[in-house]
């Protein structure tokens, strides 16, 4: 029996008014149907926003520490169900079990952080220019938020958005990616079982074109938080810009790892392989460019190729597998088309480059880890986000050129430098244009309690993750209290 998943609106699971569903299949084995999901209509979104609005005043007035208390129970329930959800996630989007467990763990950590943060939510208190007057800042919830989440982190990213949004007193409507609605349904189940009041969280599945569009256009939605492609992000910014709706965007990346001549090459190799081929290259923080100094190019590349060939590819439910499939046929086709673009541009394909076929591979969307050498900084494979296991190697003379190349794309999410020279590392930290810089670590693996986000076309200045997420979902109010008993005029000479 295939499970039919329902929408969750106002504390009740129910079918879409459209009476239509869509299928979600395992990308490692398309004969495995994960479930069917509601192909929701605008009416469903409207019902969810109405439910979220109705729940808002009661939730807003609940003290923040009390709201945050639910997060202890959410964290524990996620811990108990970690293995079950990780397995479902591997079936749903393909990444290997070690990584899907990590994804759920990121959700647990985010819940733990939220549980404590409800007792912080600091505002500042500062002195006044005037006597007998107090000045301070408070953070207030905003109302209903629309959360639109991607498929590559089906639990972690929904938790990054949901937990701070509700802990700060907002109510939400979440639309998960159509490739990963099951994991988000489990998250909703857990939040509901933890006792979050009805209507505080609402879940509507369906397409970006219908559900997403209605959410971003809905007049009663106060803010949109979106993680996904720069193309969709720009559309959301345009629509929300018209009504000055708040919008937080985490978009594409073309992350580079610099490898200097003096780097610990073992470390740099481990970092490059994990950064480029972890999650089959489908992280916005994935390493898609190696920027290597000429003195170590040959040695580094030879070993990189050697190790890339040894990566075990297959169904992520097999514990010995290191790299799973692409999430979909469309994503596989994108990868194949970029391999052709790289060849046509004159880059040297040194390993991989093909879809895997034969035996179990025919059931899913598998592609070899692929490395191009002799890539020049302006080639499309060095500029455009591929979101697959394709790594471009660019050779540079020195640190200055390495940083120029690293900065030479429209994106600026994650970055990394491998060197033993503290001066080079500090120079890189100073000059790299990115939201995140790692020294002697890969471009992936950001920790949930620190600000996460990027510069340039990677975002619009917000940082989800850490304490900064709590600022995204709140309005600041500056409070002045005059207890002098007389009119005191700021900026006018009172002396």
Pick out residues in 221-250 that bind ligand UN1 (CB under 6 A): 227
Q: Please state the closest distance from residue 252 (CB atom) to ligand UN1, in A.
A: 10
Tell me if residue 238 is catalytic: no
Q: Please state the closest distance from residue 275 (CB atom) to ligand UN1, in A.
A: 9
Pick the binder of ligand UN1 from 71, 185, 284, 313 (CB under 6 A): 284
Task: Name the residue whose CB lies closest to ligand UN1.
Answer: 446
Annotate 390-431 with DSSP letters as a single string: EEEEEEESSHHHHHHHHH-SS--SEEEEE-S-HHHHHHHHHH
Tell me if residue 404 is catalytic: no
From 327-335, 369-377, 423-431, 440-448, span contacting ligand UN1 (CB under 6 A): 440-448
Of 139 and 283, which has the nearer Cβ to ligand UN1?
283
- Catalytic residue from among 247, 284, 368, 457: 284
Pick the binder of ligand UN1 from 26, 41, 152, 328 (CB under 6 A): 152
Annotate 231-248 with DSSP letters as a single string: HHHHHHHHHHHHTT-EEE
Q: Please state the closest distance from residue 442 (CB atom) to ligand UN1, in A.
A: 9
- Edge to edge, the sheet with strand 370-373 lists 348-351, 370-373, 390-396, 287-293, 255-259, 414-418, 436-439
Q: Please state the closest distance from residue 285 (CB atom) to ligand UN1, in A.
A: 4
| DSSP conformational letter for 209 | I
Left if phi > 0, otherwise alpha if psi is -120 to 50, otherwise beta: which for 410? Answer: alpha
**Interaction between residue 10 and ligand UN1 (CB under 6 A):** no
Burial of 10 (0-12, 13-18, 19+ CB in 10 A): middle
From 281-289, 296-304, 369-377, 474-482, span contacting ligand UN1 (CB under 6 A): 281-289
Nearest to 296 by CA among 266, 276, 255: 266
Pick the binder of ligand UN1 from 90, 162, 168, 285 (CB under 6 A): 285
**Cα gap 447→338, rounded to integer Å:** 30
Q: Please state the closest distance from residue 363 (CB atom) to ligand UN1, in A.
A: 26
Burial of 128 (0-12, 13-18, 19+ CB in 10 A): middle
- Catalytic residue from among 92, 250, 368, 457: 250
From 29-37, 294-302, 342-350, 441-449, span contacting ligand UN1 (CB under 6 A): 441-449
**Interaction between residue 153 and ligand UN1 (CB under 6 A):** yes
Q: Which residues touch 163 (CB under 8 Å, ≥6 apart)?
A: 71, 74, 110, 111, 113, 114
**Interaction between residue 179 and ligand UN1 (CB under 6 A):** no
Q: Which residues bind ligand UN1 (CB under 6 A)?
A: 106, 152-153, 227, 283-285, 444-446
- List, by residue number, the catalytic residues: 250, 284
């Amino acid at each position: 029996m295939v499970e039919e998943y329902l929408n969750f609106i106002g504390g009740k699971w129910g079918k879409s008014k459209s009476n239509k569903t869509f299928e979600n299949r395992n990308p490692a084995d398309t004969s495995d149907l994960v479930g069917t999901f509601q192909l929701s209509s605008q009416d469903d979104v409207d019902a969810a926003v109405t439910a979220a609005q109705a729940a808002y005043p009661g939730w807003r007035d609940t003290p923040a520490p009390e709201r945050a208390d639910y997060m202890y129970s959410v964290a524990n329930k996620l811990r108990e169900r970690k293995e079950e959800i990780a397995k479902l996630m591997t079936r749903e989007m393909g990444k290997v079990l070690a990584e899907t467990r990590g994804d759920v763990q990121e959700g647990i950590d985010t819940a733990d952080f939220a549980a404590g943060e409800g007792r912080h939510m600091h505002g500042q208190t500062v002195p006044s220019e005037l006597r007998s007057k107090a000045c301070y800042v408070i953070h207030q919830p905003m109302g209903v938020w629309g959360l639109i989440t991607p498929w590559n982190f089906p639990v972690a990213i929904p938790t990054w958005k949901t937990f701070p949004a509700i802990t700060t007193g907002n109510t939400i409507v979440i639309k998960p990616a159509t490739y990963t609605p099951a994991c988000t349904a489990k998250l909703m189940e857990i939040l509901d079982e933890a006792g979050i009041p009805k209507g505080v969280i609402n879940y509507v599945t369906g397409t970006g074109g219908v559900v997403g569009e209605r959410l971003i256009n809905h007049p009663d939605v106060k803010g949109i938080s979106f993680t996904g492609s720069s193309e969709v992000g720009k559309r959301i910014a345009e629509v929300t810009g018209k009504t000055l709706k708040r919008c937080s965007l985490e978009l594409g990346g073309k992350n580079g790892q610099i490898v200097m001549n003096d780097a610990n090459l073992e470390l740099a190799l481990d970092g490059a392989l994990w950064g480029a081929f972890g999650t089959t290259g489908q992280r916005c923080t994935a390493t898609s460019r190696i920027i290597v100094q000429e003195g170590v190019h040959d040695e580094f590349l030879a070993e990189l190729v050697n190790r890339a060939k040894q990566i075990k590819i297959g169904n992520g439910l097999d514990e010995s597998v290191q790299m799973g499939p692409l999430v979909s046929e469309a994503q596989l086709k994108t990868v194949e088309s970029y391999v052709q673009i790289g060849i046509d541009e004159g880059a040297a394909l040194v390993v991989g480059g093909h879809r895997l076929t034969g035996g179990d591979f025919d059931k899913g969307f598998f592609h070899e880890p692929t490395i191009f050498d002799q890539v020049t900084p302006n080639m499309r494979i060095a500029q455009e986000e591929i979101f697959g296991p394709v790594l471009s190697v660019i050779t540079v003379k020195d640190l200055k050129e390495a940083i120029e190349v690293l900065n030479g794309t429209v994106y600026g999410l994650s970055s990394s430098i491998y060197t033993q020279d503290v001066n080079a590392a500090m120079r890189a930290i100073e000059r790299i244009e990115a939201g995140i810089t790692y020294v002697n670590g890969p471009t992936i693996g950001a920790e949930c309690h620190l600000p996460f986000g990027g510069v340039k076309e990677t975002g619009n200045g917000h940082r989800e993750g850490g304490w900064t997420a709590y600022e995204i979902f709140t309005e600041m109010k500056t409070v002045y209290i005059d207890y002098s008993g007389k009119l005191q005029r700021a900026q006018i000479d009172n002396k």
